[in-house]
Amino acid sequence: MYSYKHKVKYYETDKMGVTHHSNYIRFMEEARTDFLISHGFDYAKLEEMGIISPVVSIECKYRNTTTYPDVIDIFVSVEEVKAAKIRFNYIMKKADDTVCIEAASEHCFITKDGKIARLKKDFPEFFEAMTKLAENK
């Protein structure tokens, strides 16, 4: 499972000193972006290939809080790849291995002209790479 580290910034906390819940969605994007880069598919490359990938669903279970300056390990994996969708899973842990967040995001794929992209047919290199990652989770 791929791991990305995020150090909680002071401005990401609320008045009580706890990381504001909305920031975990940003952390997921940071980790997912880094994950894709590590597998040769940064967003710039995907867009050059003609793929646009909006988020269609987010699930987030808040298990424990984080505070400034905690370092969070964000573990990212591909759960499932379908014809025009992909689902990523995230587990966020503190340095002491305490699970803070269990989450998932689902993304569809469309072409630049707004049509649904069929990954296996239209972008086989990306489809095959993500399918292999899902199989090896």
User: What's the pLDDT tens digit per position in 76-122?
Assistant: 999 999 999 999 999 999 999 999 999 999 999 998 888 999 999 98
> Where does the pLDDT of residue 1 fall: very low under 50, low under 70, confident under 90, or very high at 90 and above?
confident
For domain 2-135, the CATH superfamily is Hotdog Thioesterase (3.10.129.10)
| Burial of residue 95 (number of CB atoms within 10 Å: 0-12, 13-18, 19+) | exposed
Active site residues: 14
pTM above 0.75, yes or no: yes
Task: Write the DSSP string, 26-61.
Answer: HHHHHHHHHHHHHTT--HHHHHHTTEE--EEEEEEE
- CA-to-CA distance for 95 and 134, rounded, in angstroms? 26
Contact 90, 104 (CB under 8 A): yes
Extract the tokens encoding 34.
């880094």
**Domain ranges across the chain:** 2-135
